[in-house]
Amino acid sequence: MAVLGSGQANGGCSLLHAAGLGYGASIGLDLPLAVRLLDRPSKRDLDDPDGLLPAIIDAWLAGGFKLPNDLAKEELYWAVISQVPPRQGLKSSAATAIGALRALADATQSEVSEEEYVAMAAQAQLGFKGITYRLDR
């Protein structure tokens, strides 16, 4: 099993929730998360009940980026190690999205702006909830 790329992120706490305005404000917390993109399944079980990680790949492709080593979506696997408690309002999905996008950027040696990371993370999070969001690149 080869590690194709890796990315890190942290949990956070909302200061201003984005639901009402479309934009919000958060503060980062010392709750680290690490994501690895693999070419074979991890030995550890992956807990992704909402299907966020496949949505990350879809958002990455929609952003105009390529997958590593000419692999298909079905040939990519994830490993996530997180100290961010899920479903507690501490931005575990956002941290996973950013960590996974950074892993894809690392695997493909892509230059990705902060704005692109945010747009793709939003696309993925809305996508796994069945909402469509348009990315302009």
For residue range 116-126, list pLDDT tens digits in order: 999 999 999 88
Q: Which two tokens stand for residue 11?
A: 């949990």
Fold of the CATH domain 3-127:
Ribosomal Protein S5; domain 2 (3.30.230)
Tally the residues of the chain. Answer: 137
Question: What's the one-letter identity of residue 53?
Answer: L
Is the pLDDT score of 96 beyond 50? yes
CA angle 15, 103, 73 (to 5 degrees): 115
pTM of the predicted model as reported, rounded to 2 decimal places? 0.87
Write down the domain spans for the chain: 3-127
Please state the φ and ψ torsions of residue 76, each to the nearest 5 degrees.
-110, 140
Looking up tokens 């909302």, which residue turns up? 14
Kindly report, residue by residue over 51-68, the tens digit of the pLDDT: 999 999 999 999 999 999
Segment 8-15 shows an average pLDDT of 93
What is d(CA 124, CA 52) in angstroms, rounded to the nearest whole number?
7
What is d(CA 78, CA 22) in angstroms, rounded to the nearest whole number?
29
